[in-house]
Chains A and B, each alone.
Chain A
Amino acid sequence: MTELLQNLASGVMIGIVYALLSIGFSLSWGTLGVISIVHPAFAVLGAYIAYFSYHSFGFDPIASLLFTIPVFFFIGVAINSTLFNRLNTITKHVGFASMVVTFGMAITLESLMKFFFTADPRLLRIDYLRDLTLSLGGVSIASRYLVAAFIALITLAVIYYFLYSTYTGKAVRAVEQEKEGAAFVGINVMRVSSITYGIALASAGVAGLALAMVYPFEPPIHIPWLVIIFLVVIAGGVGSVVGTILTGLIVGLLFTLSGMVVPFSLVNLVIFLALIVVLIFRPKGIWSV
């Protein structure tokens, strides 16, 4: 019983982090039509920035976000206004073409990270969180899980607030729903796309920090993270914020709970099976009506 509660708790925590990892991917697919394979690779880069700012320079890893968020935002804006913008003018298969382009980016980024940071696995171990655990009725949760989930939750809340309560955010959702219509009522689609992709990459950077606290990471880990993103986004419905958050929680729980029943190496298989079931029965996402 305790074990079950324990796994439920950590599943929820990890699920929130997965939701944050996937939200940017979902937004850029929904709004720009771009399937950004490079998304988790930027999360890995964010994890490395947090790792080195702590272990090499002695800054608080959370403070590294002051660097990661603006820099990733501008990288996103730059990528969108050069590469994706051109992609839109040369082909109508933007989704597919962007997969190839962003895969090229992912290969490049992974190789660069291997080159500069080596392929050794790393884990962000923050000293002041090491021995802290929260105990609640026999269930104890390591504080690094709590902090990671808390960071993810705040970021998700900010993104939600932006999309639903600010003028620009509403424009993003308008472009997602109907690109031509949005342009017709005077929304600068190009600018909105750039902001969306900037936010997507910045959120990937934050997710990288959160994941680095919980799991060890190395440059090639962006592929397993990509699988999680695919599962969350496809099952949650492309472009849906609430769907992504809910599905992120489900996937997190699926990970920890299936780990109780099957050996660890087969947990991934459970994830794939879940995705295939979703695709057959709810190809537009589980929350679609």
Chain B
Amino acid sequence: MSKIAKLKKDYVILLIIGLLFAAFPLFIKTTYIYSFLIITFMYAALTVGWNIMGGYAGYFSFGHVAFVGAGGYLSAFLLLEYGWSPFLTAPLAGLLAGIIALLVGYPCLKLRGPYFSVVTLIVALAVQVVVVNIPGLDAPRGLFLPSPADNVLLSRMLLYEGMLVLLLISIAVAMYIENSRLGYGLYAIREDEEVAETQGVNTTELKLIGYIISAFLAGMVGSVFAWYQGFLAPDPMFELEISVLIVLMALIGGTYSWVGALGGAVVISIVREFLMIYVGAEASHILFGVLLIVAIMYLPHGAIKWAIDKKFSKSPKGCS
């Protein structure tokens, strides 16, 4: 079967699974389930998007939350000023994130290894400082956003559908990239950037495109996340922990394909939820830190990748 035909088949399967999930609100009427699924889908979409640079190209960004926050604030602003629904302004939020990625990525993507991780972390903090200081936005005091519907359950359902669509878009984009010239170029960069360059791969351009796509997806997620929050404060929107969670989810699931990123995000979200319910917020934080340490110490190549064999692995054995 040719690559294109296989991709088409995969898209059909994705669509069917997506429709199944989209039908949830017909049967399930508990608000709590939707809150949990919205956050899970959000992390899944972010991790799949992050993986485009972090996994395929091996550029581990520690500042992905910058794009979430910037996109979220743009959508919130448009909702408050003009009453435009964040569902419609999500692409604009993505665009803003993409522009930030373009500006930041140009100098930063020249840096290799841990330098890139450190600098992206600083960029996330810098974007937060900029947003907080925008005159007229009044970000530090917090913004109240009107909810999508009067009924709590209904608005959760709407946000759930929105986040589901974003997750499906992220997966579809990741699937496409994995089978495209861009994807192969990024894989080549991960294996050996110098060699890729000598083989005629335009590494600077590919890295920048990959970074912008990754940021665009995160910006869109940010706009729905902002609406879900209802009360928008710089702290949760730019929480450093989101960046680190994304990295951890990808590492646990394995970074070679979107399947690992998705699996890692789902597993970690469930674990976090359990910790929250059974040991409380404060203790769950402590336990979570410990979990982070244990996870990276004992699962260096990703658990999902082991669990489902090398079926989804694009990389030859022995590469890391």
- Point out residues on A near B: beta carbons under 8 Å: 29, 35, 83, 86-87, 90-93, 95-97, 99-101, 103-109, 111-112, 114-115, 223, 227, 230-231, 234, 265-266, 268-269, 272, 275-276, 279-280, 283
Contact = CB atoms under 8 A, between A and B. Distances in A.
Looking at chain A's contact residues, the main secondary structure is: helix
Nearest to B288: A107
A265 B297 contact: no
Interface in B120-140: 121-122, 125-126, 129-130, 132-133
Nearest to A231: B122
Contacts of A112: 286
B297 A101 contact: yes
A35 to B, nearest CB: 5
- Residue among A90, A223, A275 with the most chain B CB within 10 A? A90
Interface residues of B, number: 39
10 contacts: A86-B297, A91-B300, A93-B113, A93-B320, A101-B296, A101-B297, A103-B244, A107-B289, A108-B286, A280-B107
Contacts of A272: 122, 125-126, 129
B198 to A, nearest CB: 22
Contact of B296 (A100, A269, A279): A100
Given A111-B286, A223-B125, A96 B300 contact: no
Contacts of A266: 133
A105 B62 contact: no
B119 interface: yes
Contacts, number: 107
Contact of A283 (B111, B244, B251): B111
B292 A279 contact: no
Contacts of A29: 114
Interface string B297-311: 100100000000000
B133 A100 contact: no
A104 B292 CA distance: 5
Given A103-B244, A115-B282, A223-B240, A83 B297 contact: yes
Given A96-B113, A279-B108, A104 B129 contact: no
B62 A265 contact: no
A227 B118 CA distance: 10
A280 B105 CA distance: 11
A99 B122 contact: no
Contact of A269 (B126, B286, B289, B292): B126
B285 interface: yes
- Residue among A86, A230, A231 with the most chain B CB within 10 A? A230
A105 B292 CA distance: 8
Contact of A91 (B130, B244, B247, B320): B320
Contacts of B118: 35, 99, 230, 234
A19 B176 CA distance: 48
A107 B107 contact: no
A131 to B, nearest CB: 35
B141 to A, nearest CB: 13
A106 B293 CA distance: 10
A252 B121 CA distance: 22
Contact of B117 (A96, A115, A275): A96
Contacts of B244: 100, 103, 107
A82 B133 CA distance: 43
A29 B297 CA distance: 19
Contact of B114 (A90, A96, A108, A276): A96
